[in-house]
Amino acid sequence: MMIAKPSPTDDMEYAFDEDSFKWLAVLLPEEKTDIRDAYMLDTALMLLYGVAVCASPMDEQAMEEHLSDYLVQRLGLYRRETA
């Protein structure tokens, strides 16, 4: 699956490159340029959540209470977009 190519107005300083694709939960199709910015932010949040849970298992319950449902909801949104 292809990832959307950046447009000239994108801020690529903080974008995921091809080496990072293996860490992404969902690859965004090339034609989904209208949601690319939100996708990049949500994906970064999902990765940070995963790292935080791994780094601090004692805080997992607190993080789950605040973020888990939101992240699962967002992940589901992107899965539908790529189907």
**Domain assignment of residue 67, yes or no:** yes
Q: How far apart are CA 54 and CA 46, in angstroms?
A: 12
Contact 14, 40 (CB under 8 A): yes
Per-residue pLDDT of 24-33, as tens digits, reads 777 777 777 7
**Domain assignment of residue 62, yes or no:** yes
54 pLDDT higher than 80: yes
Q: Please state the pTM of the whole predicted model.
A: 0.62
pLDDT of residue 3: 47
Number of structural domains (the chain) is 1
**Domain assignment of residue 48, yes or no:** yes
**Domain assignment of residue 5, yes or no:** no
Q: How far apart are CA 3 and CA 26, in angstroms?
A: 10
Domain span holding position 37: 20-82
**Domain assignment of residue 3, yes or no:** no
**Domain assignment of residue 29, yes or no:** yes
When computed from its CA atoms, the radius of gyration of the chain, rounded to whole angstroms, is 14
pLDDT of residue 12: 57
DSSP secondary structure string, 21-53? GGG-SSPPPTT-GGGHHHHHHHHHHHHHHHHHH
Number of neighbouring beta carbons within 10 Å of residue 43: 21
The per-residue pLDDT of the chain, averaged, comes to: 75
**Per-residue confidence band for 73, with pLDDT thresholds at 50, 70 and 90:** confident
